[in-house]
Amino acid sequence: MREKAAVIGMGYVGIPLACLLAKSGVKVTGIDIDRKRVELINKGEYPLKGDEPNLPEMLNEVVNTGLLRASTDFECCEDAQAIFICVDTPIDDKKKPIMNRLISAVDKVGSNLCKDSLIVVESTVAPGTMRNKVLPLLEKNSGMKAGKEFYLAHCPERVMSGKLIFNLVNLDRVLGGLDEKSTDIAKKWYEPIMKGNIHTTDMTTAEVVKTSENTYRDVQIAFANEVALICEKLGIDAFEVRKLVNTSPFRDMHLPGAGVGGHCLPKDPWLLVHGGKDADPQLIPTARKVNDRMPEHVAELVLKAMEEAKLDKRKDITIAILGYSFLENSGDSRNSPAKIVIDRLHKKYNIAVHDPFAEEDGKVEIVRNLDKVLRNADCAVFLTRHKEYLNLKLEDIAKSMKNKIIIDGRNIFDKKKAERLGFIYKGIGKG
């Protein structure tokens, strides 16, 4: 039966899943502890910011047709045939998983479980979490036996901001079931909402696949960043190096940049390390360190440029931070490099932050008017490849800024051209 479902955690992962399930005819309740989010969804309003093709319209449609409603109450799990857990799974200052949100959700699901239902954890979790934490807690709270009286699977997400619906519908997914029956039941829930293939496996393999996917990317970016730092010292262009490296077969060097942000990449490698700690991983923590250093390096480039411009002793200097979100054309500013750069510079300089999408988070004022921010800036620090920045012309910026200083964290401008126009230009990987 595929009639009623609950989706727990109405964020970047839960909302598109809930909408697609509802659109396929399932009656869905989206559960969240955030009352404001629940109220907005029930009004048919998409509660997250950013350019998200098709999703706000789809949410409005399924709420209006009565197929999706949101609630803070877990009681609806009692008659849901499938429950999808999509809560956030962050790490703490010591890089250990913060489990309370997942455990609290599993705890309540277990206490409100009906016989024969399927529970799927979509959240990214440290390897071993499904078997050692989720499974025993569900069995304890429900008093039922997994694989016999209820079914369990881990089906991690591959969505990203800006492509939530597209990725969910089109990308292949890995589905790890507790047993064959759990896998089969879960597959039947996903098949009607996606075009990609479903690759089935066991739960622990699915956990390692997901955390490895993001760790692989993080390590690759760290490599590109390390090469970029070497190129800066050697006075050459890392982007030219990358282009030429990739002319060699089986090479796929990534892009260097001002840092890695978002909810996933900075923490999923630590989830993998945590789950695999008995193997004493070395490379993954080192790669994390390299990537964490990049926003610090951007701040160092700003200080260097200010010294060169002999502005370092002045008190009335304004640094424009262009891009507060971590990802281009998205409003998602979780763990964004901008936050580190601002933290390192705000005691010495005035900071003005521009972003076309990012929400106010109570920490900085975000200005939407780019011209205004550039007009009042002595130094422009580009941290995100937003469309709006790619359309800028160096000639116009040169006329508008108070002092002509650019720090390019995303390879947006041509160094030689900037220097011809009289800019002090420094960029990641631009020696």
Ligand X SMILES: NC(=O)c1ccc[n+]([C@@H]2O[C@H](COP(=O)([O-])OP(=O)(O)OC[C@H]3O[C@@H](n4cnc5c(N)ncnc54)[C@H](O)[C@@H]3O)[C@@H](O)[C@H]2O)c1
Token pair of 97 as six digits: 């998983």
**353: alpha, beta or left? (left if phi > 0; alpha if psi -120 to 50):** beta
C-alpha pair distances (Å), 319 with each of 303, 339, 357? 11, 14, 20
Helix 268-275 to helix 283-308 angle, to the nearest 10 degrees?
150
Q: Per rule CB under 6 A, is residue 196 in the interface with ligand X? A: no
Residues 369-428 that bind ligand X (CB under 6 A): none
Copy the structure tokens of residue 170: 């089109």
Are residues 41 and 59 in contact, defined by beta-carbon separation less than 8 angstroms? yes
Judged by DSSP in three states, 349 sits in coil
Q: Quick check: is 379 catalytic?
A: no
Length in residues, the chain = 431
Residue 227 found at the interface with ligand X (CB under 6 A): no
Q: Give the Å distances, CA to CA, from 35 to 6, 10, 46, 58, 134.
A: 17, 11, 14, 21, 25
Judged by CB under 6 A, the residue of 91, 105, 134, 272 near ligand X is: 105
Catalytic residue among 4, 108, 210, 430: 210
Which residue number, 213 or 226, has a Cβ lying nearer to ligand X? 213
Per-residue x/- track, 147-186, ligand X (CB under 6 A): ----------x-xxx-------------------------
Instruction: By CB under 6 A, tell whether 8 contacts ligand X.
Output: yes
Q: How far is the CB of 394 from ligand X (least distance, A)?
A: 33
155 is known as an active-site residue: no
Cα–Cα distances in angstroms (integers) from residue 331 to residues 80, 86, 267, in the given order: 33, 20, 19
Work out how close the CB of 305 gets to ligand X at its nearest, in angstroms, rounded to a whole number.
33
Which of 4, 6, 12, 382 lies at the binding interface for ligand X (CB under 6 A)?
A: 12
Residue 11 contacts ligand X per CB under 6 A: yes
Stretch 34-73: interaction string toward ligand X, x if CB under 6 A: x--x------------------------------------
> Nearest-CB residue to ligand X?
11
Q: Which residue in the list 133, 264, 267, 415 is annotated as catalytic? A: 264
Residue from 42, 71, 81, 104 in contact with ligand X (CB under 6 A): 104
Contact positions with ligand X (CB under 6 A) in 13-32: 13-14, 31-32
Record the tokens describing residue 158, joined without a space: 């591959």
- Counting contacts by CB under 6 A, is residue 126 touching ligand X? no
Instruction: Compute how many residues bind ligand X; rule: CB under 6 A.
Output: 27
CA–CA separation, 201 and 178 (whole Å): 9
* Separation in Å, CA 5 to CA 15, 355, 358: 13, 37, 32
- Which residues form the interface with ligand X (CB under 6 A)? 8-14, 31-34, 37, 86-89, 101, 104-105, 123-124, 157, 159-161, 263-264
The residues that are catalytic are 210, 264
